[in-house]
């Protein structure tokens, strides 16, 4: 750990594409909020990752600023943490290039997310950026020498690649990078779709009932939970044969902070109809204050910009320091100005 910094460095981010959903909140954002006192935290908005699939520039800019509002509404605190936009910091793309030269092509081709996303675009245009995506992610993390990376389960493989490439760099050029650990916590590391509990909840699900967005109204949330797919039984229990009920119990545990065992006891004999309403009500109570804060913050453009600027200044200084060392290790001519 960096001697001057007593606290571990935590870095993470998400992509500013369309709506942020309950899976993002319970699997990621909620954990980020709770780690702010224990760590030196950097939270960024990965707009450079977002363009690995086609984006409308006007939408992307709007979603990026809205994402800052979501971060703050969820409880990220710019007085304790640094919040910034990836593309504003020079260094992510530069380090990604250097790391790409150390990353085996085969490992990138084996990434589950790449296979999924490129498979879904079969016959259409697939940009090389989709393949290269985990290298950029490794650069994001190593540029700040992060110790811990809180993410949902779906990012575990990308973290493994980051660790491999950091070890490879250190092995060739001498120790420079910390080997970062993923921080994947709780029952909600993989929140499932409400319509297909064997697939993860995702913002791009074509079934509009599958995903609960933080921007959804109380009535929309109720409707989505009331139509959640379960099974033909009656018992409220978190077993693998009941993936729908298990998912709902995990969500209820995530929003209430209570254990699944406790909830199973409370909800025993309730019947699925009543249980779904109980879950919906708990989610509504959790999401409503976030939605209200989010709407108010979206109007505070100058404030959001000032948060991004402060975060950018701090992040750029750290990125410059790492990049200068990397250039030196690699043998690039004098990195004095970087």
Residues 6 or more apart from 169 whose CB is under 8 A from it? 99, 102, 142, 176, 177, 329
To the nearest 10 degrees (0 to 180), the angle between helices 57-74 and 272-298 is 110
Catalytic residue among 168, 203, 298, 325: 203
The count of residues interacting with ligand TRP (CB under 6 A) is 13
Between 144 and 327, name the residue whose CB sits nearer to ligand AMP: 144
What is the per-residue DSSP string for 199-225?
SB--TT-SSTTS--BTT--HHHHHHHH
- Interface with ligand TRP, residue 64, by CB under 6 A: no
Between 21 and 242, name the residue whose CB sits nearer to ligand TRP: 21
The region of 8-16, 53-61, 71-79, 282-290 touching ligand TRP under the rule CB under 6 A is: 8-16
Residue 140, contacted partner among ligand TRP, ligand AMP, none, CB below 5-8 A by kind:
ligand TRP
Residues 6 or more apart from 226 whose CB is under 8 A from it? 276, 277, 280
- Interface with ligand AMP, residue 190, by CB under 6 A: yes
Give, for 13, the enclosing helix (H) or strand (E).
strand 9-14
Residues 6 or more apart from 38 whose CB is under 8 A from it? 7, 8
- Interface with ligand AMP, residue 161, by CB under 6 A: no
- Interface with ligand TRP, residue 135, by CB under 6 A: no
Residues 6 or more apart from 52 whose CB is under 8 A from it? 127, 129, 130, 132, 133
Residue 27, contacted partner among ligand TRP, ligand AMP, none, CB below 5-8 A by kind:
ligand AMP
Site for ligand TRP, rule CB under 6 A: 11-15, 46, 49, 137, 140-141, 149, 151, 155
Site for ligand AMP, rule CB under 6 A: 14-15, 23-24, 27-28, 151-152, 154-155, 188-191, 200-201, 203
Task: Tell me which residues are annotated as active site.
Answer: 117, 200, 203
């Amino acid at each position: 750990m960096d001697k001057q910094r007593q606290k571990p460095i935590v870095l993470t981010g998400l992509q500013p594409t369309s709506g942020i959903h309950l899976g993002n909140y319970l699997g990621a954002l909620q954990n980020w909020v709770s780690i702010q006192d224990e760590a030196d935290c950097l939270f960024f908005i990965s707009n450079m990752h977002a363009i690995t699939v086609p984006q409308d520039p006007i939408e992307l800019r709007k979603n990026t600023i809205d994402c800052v509002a979501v971060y703050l509404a969820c409880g990220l605190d710019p007085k304790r943490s640094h919040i910034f936009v990836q593309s504003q910091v020079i260094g992510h793309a530069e380090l990604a290039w250097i790391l790409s030269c150390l990353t085996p092509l085969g490992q990138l081709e084996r990434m589950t997310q790449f296979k999924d996303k490129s498979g879904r675009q079969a016959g259409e245009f697939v940009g090389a950026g989709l393949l290269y995506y985990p290298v950029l992610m490794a650069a994001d993390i190593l540029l700040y020498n992060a110790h811990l990376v809180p993410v949902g389960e779906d990012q575990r493989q990308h973290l493994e690649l980051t660790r491999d490439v950091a070890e490879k760099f250190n092995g060739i050029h001498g120790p420079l990078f910390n080997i970062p650990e993923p921080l994947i916590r709780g029952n909600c590391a993989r929140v499932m779709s409400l319509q297909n509990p064997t697939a993860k909840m995702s913002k791009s699900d074509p079934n509009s009932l599958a995903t609960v967005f933080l921007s959804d109204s109380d009535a929309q949330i109720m409707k989505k939970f009331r139509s959640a797919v379960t099974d033909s039984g009656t018992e409220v229990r978190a077993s693998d044969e009941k993936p729908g009920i298990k998912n709902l119990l995990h969500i209820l545990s995530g929003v209430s902070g209570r254990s699944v065992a406790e909830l199973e006891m409370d909800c025993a004999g309730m019947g699925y109809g009543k249980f779904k309403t109980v879950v919906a009500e708990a989610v509504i109570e959790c999401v409503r204050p976030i939605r209200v804060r989010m709407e108010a913050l979206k109007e505070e453009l100058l404030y959001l910009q000032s948060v991004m600027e402060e975060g950018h200044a701090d992040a750029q200084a750290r990125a410059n320091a790492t990049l200068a060392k990397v250039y030196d290790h690699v043998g690039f001519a004098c990195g004095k100005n970087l």
